């Protein structure tokens, strides 16, 4: 495969853009390589500026559950933009979006649209603090909730990949207000509540993690977290920016059978445009301005183009009774294929998957159920695997600590090709 144009483009970008990218996770630095520059995408495939085509498992980091350039989404966008692109005044589309979100995720009685997942979690935390009159928040090591100061403490995703889970620039005061616990370890949560129970405003969690790779919670852990929050009067915030409408139509909360007080959303609800949202019980949401005293605002919030793309995508997901079954079938096929490869080659690794989200962890451990397990992974092996995959036309997230996404546009043939490419990559690493 030729990457000449991408290499040149990256050299030029480095002159003008910090690190050459507008979000660190796009850089291939952790796999000691240069990123490919994307020219276009269609269905399950992305094409770079050198003309190489890849089966895409990044899906813009989650939003593209229907695949790229879905005709209905494009049609909605082109019709909507003819009427103007932003008004800074209410539109019918925003209420339609709120109704659709509530229908698919009934714990969200009332929802506020924002422009990114970061804004959603930042605003949800402010609301939780304003509502409870408390300061502290509990988050989990390896979970990522966007780049708000309060959450860049033991953070996952790019912060973990690039070795800055506690970034410079966050004041010690802010860092003090964030308590960290261990995913799947209820005692680590209980200890915080015992010590600070009456000053904990909220606990925020990725109910299935994606930002340290896919780690699945036990039922007891999640129920225990819910019970501790209720007992101590702290709000339980499910950060479903990644899992919302992804792992199931009703998000991770429907799979787990646990109702959070607030939910943060992003990615899929924007259909590929910049969007976030947070919502929950009306009684809590009514504390937001202008109804209540907690301030939060946005010039472009509820932008018509973002609403049109997101609403179209959500309705397609809601109305097609087979879509989640089909995602499960295809992602299951991929999981089985990857596991067969590992068995056949006697290659030590673990595949974790929930619905269409998966991670192949390169570890000698039997299971990956905690951040500590994740940290035992061999990132050098991942790096080689990533490069061999790319060269055989498979586009994965360039980090061991991320999830892969299967979309409705992936075909059985795509999955089969991916399994074969994975086999070949593992074989080369073994040599
Ligand atoms: N929360 C979770 C669980 C995420 O996965 C992400 C992004 O990957 C965010 C929050 C931040 O969203 P955004 O990148 O749109 O700000």
**Given a cut of 90, is residue 159 above it in pLDDT?**
no
Instruction: Determine the Cα angle at 224 with ends 263 and 160, to 5°.
Output: 60
Does 239 contact ligand 1 (Cβ within 6 A)? yes
Distance CA 55, CA 91 (A): 37
pLDDT digits (tens, 9 = 90+) for 276-323: 999 999 999 999 999 999 999 999 999 999 999 999 999 999 999 999
Q: Using an 8 Å Cβ cutoff, are 398 and 33 in contact?
A: yes
Q: Using an 8 Å Cβ cutoff, are 151 and 317 in contact?
A: no
Q: Which of 59, 146, 148 to mutate to test the pocket of ligand 1 (most atoms within 8 A of CB)?
A: 146
Q: Is 75 a catalytic residue?
A: no
With CA atoms as reference, report the closest residue to 276 among 102, 118, 151, 63.
Answer: 118
Tell me how far CA of residue 154 lies from CA of 52, 129, 162, in angstroms. Answer: 37, 21, 12
Q: Is 367 a catalytic residue?
A: no
Helices and strands per DSSP (H, E), number in the chain? 15, 14
pLDDT digits (tens, 9 = 90+) for 69-95: 999 999 999 999 999 999 999 999 999
**Given a cut of 90, is residue 402 above it in pLDDT?**
yes
Does 116 contact ligand 1 (Cβ within 6 A)? yes
Task: Look at residue 80 in the predicted model and tell me its pLDDT.
Answer: 98
Where is average pLDDT lowest: 34-48, 166-180, 232-246? 166-180
pLDDT digits (tens, 9 = 90+) for 2-13: 999 999 999 999
Question: What is the percentage of the chain residues whose pLDDT exceeds 70?
Answer: 100
Ligand 1 centroid–CA 89 distance in Å is 26
**Given a cut of 90, is residue 354 above it in pLDDT?**
yes
Does 266 contact ligand 1 (Cβ within 6 A)? yes
Where is average pLDDT lowest: 24-33, 103-112, 151-160? 151-160
**Given a cut of 90, is residue 120 above it in pLDDT?**
yes
Q: Which of 144, 159, 278, 306 to mutate to test the pocket of ligand 1 (most atoms within 8 A of CB)?
A: 144
Backbone phi, psi, residue 369, to 5°? -125, 0
Ligand 1 centroid–CA 405 distance in Å is 15
Average pLDDT over residues 260-267: 98
Does 156 contact ligand 1 (Cβ within 6 A)? no
Q: Is 45 a catalytic residue?
A: no
ipTM > 0.90?
yes
Question: Can you list the positions of beta strands (E) in 206-334?
Answer: 235-239, 262-266, 276-280
With CA atoms as reference, report the closest residue to 201 among 180, 232, 224, 223.
Answer: 232
394-395, strands of its sheet edge to edge:
38-42, 45-48, 53-56, 394-395
**Given a cut of 80, is residue 164 above it in pLDDT?**
no
pLDDT digits (tens, 9 = 90+) for 130-142: 999 999 999 999 9
The partner residues of 43 in beta bridges, in order of sequence, read: 68
**Given a cut of 90, is residue 154 above it in pLDDT?**
no
Average pLDDT over residues 33-37: 96
Q: Which of 239, 241, 278 to mutate to test the pocket of ligand 1 (most atoms within 8 A of CB)?
A: 241
Does 206 contact ligand 1 (Cβ within 6 A)? yes
Distance CA 367, CA 215 (A): 10
With CA atoms as reference, report the closest residue to 157 among 188, 117, 124, 192.
Answer: 117
**Given a cut of 80, is residue 272 above it in pLDDT?**
yes
Task: Look at residue 84 in the predicted model and tell me its pLDDT.
Answer: 98
Does 273 contact ligand 1 (Cβ within 6 A)? no
Distance CA 167, CA 171 (A): 10
Where is average pLDDT lowest: 98-102, 161-165, 345-349? 161-165
Domains along the chain with CATH numbers: 4-69+322-430 (3.90.1150.10), 71-319 (3.40.640.10)
**Given a cut of 80, is residue 163 above it in pLDDT?**
no
CA 159 to chain centre: 14
The partner residues of 180 in beta bridges, in order of sequence, read: 139
Q: Using an 8 Å Cβ cutoff, are 80 and 421 in contact?
A: no
Task: Look at residue 7 in the predicted model and tell me its pLDDT.
Answer: 97
Q: How confident is the model at residue 420 (pLDDT cuts 50, 70, 90)?
A: very high
Cis-peptide, bond into residue 290, ω within 30° of zero: yes
Q: Atom 12 (ligand 1): residue with closest C-alpha?
A: 117
Task: Look at residue 158 in the predicted model and tell me its pLDDT.
Answer: 81
């Amino acid at each position: 495969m030729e990457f000449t144009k991408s290499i040149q483009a990256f050299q030029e970008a480095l002159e003008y853009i910090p690190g050459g990218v507008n979000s660190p996770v796009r850089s291939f630095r952790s796999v000691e390589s240069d990123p490919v520059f994307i020219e276009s995408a269609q269905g399950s495939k992305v094409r770079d500026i050198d003309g190489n085509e890849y089966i895409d498992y990044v899906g813009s980091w989650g939003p593209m559950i229907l695949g790229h350039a879905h005709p209905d989404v494009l049609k909605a966008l082109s019709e909507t933009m003819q009427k103007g692109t932003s008004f800074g005044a209410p539109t019918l589309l925003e209420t339609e979006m709120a109704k659709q979100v509530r229908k698919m995720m009934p714990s969200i009685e009332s929802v506020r649209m924002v422009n990114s997942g970061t804004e959603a979690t930042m605003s949800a935390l402010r609301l939780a603090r304003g509502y409870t009159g408390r300061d502290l928040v509990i988050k989990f090591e390896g979970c990522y909730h966007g780049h708000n100061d309060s959450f860049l403490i033991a953070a996952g995703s790019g912060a973990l990949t690039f070795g800055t889970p506690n970034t410079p620039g966050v004041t010690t005061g802010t860092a003090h207000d964030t308590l960290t616990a261990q995913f799947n370890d209820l005692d680590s949560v209980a200890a915080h509540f015992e010590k600070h129970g009456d000053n904990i405003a909220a606990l925020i969690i990725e109910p299935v993690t994606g930002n340290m790779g896919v780690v699945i919670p036990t039922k007891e852990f999640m129920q225990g977290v819910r019970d501790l929050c209720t007992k101590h009067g702290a709000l339980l915030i499910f950060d479903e920016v990644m899992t919302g409408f992804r792992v199931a139509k009703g998000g991770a909360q429907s799979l787990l059978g646990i109702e959070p007080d607030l939910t943060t959303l992003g990615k899929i609800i924007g259909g590929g445009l910049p969007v976030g949202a947070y919502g929950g019980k009306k009684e809590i949401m009514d504390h937001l301005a202008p109804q209540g005293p907690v301030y939060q605002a946005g010039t472009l919030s509820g932008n018509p183009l973002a609403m049109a793309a997101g609403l179209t995508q959500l309705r397609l997901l809601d109305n097609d009774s087979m879509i989640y079954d089909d995602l499960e079938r295809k992602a299951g096929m991929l999981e089985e294929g990857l596991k067969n490869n590992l068995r056949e080659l006697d290659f030590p690794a673990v595949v974790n998957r929930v619905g269409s989200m998966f991670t192949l962890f390169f570890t000698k451990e039997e299971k990956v159920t905690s951040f500590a397990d994740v940290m035992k992974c061999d990132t050098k092996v991942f790096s080689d695997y990533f490069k061999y995959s790319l060269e055989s036309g498979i586009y994965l997230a360039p980090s061991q600590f991320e999830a892969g996404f299967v979309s409705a546009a992936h075909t059985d043939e795509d999955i089969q090709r991916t399994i074969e490419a994975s086999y070949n990559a593992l074989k080369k690493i073994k040599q």
